[in-house]
Amino acid sequence: MQSATSAEKAPAPERPGLVRMIRAPFLSSILSPMLAGTLVAVTLGGRFDAVGCALAVVMGVGLHIATNVYNDIYDHLQGTDQVNANRNEFSGGSGVLQQFPDLMPRMFLLARGGLVLGLAAAIGLHVLLPSPLRETMWALFALGAFFSKYYTAAPPMLASRGVGEVSVWFAFGPMAVLLAVVSQGVWLEPAVLAALPVTGLSTLSILLLGQLIDLPADREAGKLGIAARAGTRVTAYVYLLVQLALMVNVAVLAYLLPVQWPPLIALLPYLALLPGIWKGVSKHHGDPQEIIPAAGRNVQLHLGFSLLFVVGLALVLILG
């Protein structure tokens, strides 16, 4: 009787605000490639277009908001939310619709609002950019809008077809960096090509550990990423290879820039955090609850790398 009374008096869960609904803290994943691409372009081109930079960032953020919200919507509609017992702040989405299904119309409004925001910025860039950079920008917008919804939505359901990892890397690496580069009127020079993959690899590392945590729910819901298809041990080693590829990529990019040492400071968090993360992932890859602490440290690694990568490229511009 006492427990029933306590349950009746338990406070209702707090309704989520805009920050939680759009998963605002994770927007850093798009800001890093946008800033990095802009800095590389300004270093190579010798000029900074503030309006182009602002419009490109708005376009990227709008598409990322749409991506975050659409993923939450379709994870809920497809049943992934209902069976995910391991949701945490590093994986599994926001879960707002699981708690508040009445927010579905507002979530659709936010997702479509992100697309409209991105479209408005693309129209501004259309006016600003010459051909063929203008056509490249529109191709990036169209592909970003497609990924934002159909990463999880039917019929493509990219995350359930084994190509979700490629689309995440492509969206947060080559696509985002190239958009920033194009906004500055620069094209595919060797240093730009070297810069394209880096940030996507960092974001992909978060997805891979998230898959290890969400694996039971993903399998039940038919969301077949690499962890569900190849197993947890293979996924753990793919994670390690992705991180090693990122380190090599940064070194190659540094070699191609006028001042070579500053980008290498972005690897300092790897020296501090990656050995401990790998120890946890290699030992507990099959235990979702044990992976959560490693995923948290990996997010710290991602944020530290992203910040220092931008700082390093800014130093190249200043010192060059």
pLDDT of residue 47: 94
Q: What is the pLDDT along the chain (320 residues), one digit of tens a residue?
A: 445 554 455 566 788 888 989 988 888 889 999 999 999 999 999 999 999 999 999 999 999 999 999 999 998 888 776 766 666 666 657 778 888 999 999 999 999 999 999 999 999 999 999 999 999 999 999 999 999 999 989 888 888 887 889 999 999 999 999 999 999 999 999 999 999 999 999 999 999 999 999 888 888 877 788 999 999 999 999 999 999 999 999 999 999 999 999 999 999 999 999 999 999 999 999 999 999 999 999 999 999 999 999 999 999 999 98
pLDDT of residue 98: 85
Contacts of 4 (CB under 8 A, 6+ apart): none
Structure tokens at 135: 């056509």
Helix residue ranges, H only, the chain: 2-9, 18-21, 28-45, 50-77, 80-83, 96-99, 104-128, 133-150, 164-170, 176-183, 190-195, 198-221, 226-230, 232-256, 268-284, 288-319
pLDDT of residue 1: 45
The whole-angstrom separation of Cα 60 and Cα 31 is 8
Structure tokens at 167: 């689309």
Tell the residue number behind the tokens 């590392």, with chain if given: 205
The whole-angstrom separation of Cα 72 and Cα 69 is 5
Which residue ranges form the domains of the chain, and what is each CATH number? 24-319 (1.10.357.140)
pLDDT of residue 277: 97
The whole-angstrom separation of Cα 17 and Cα 148 is 21
Terminal alpha carbon distance of the chain: 74
Residue type present at position 258: P
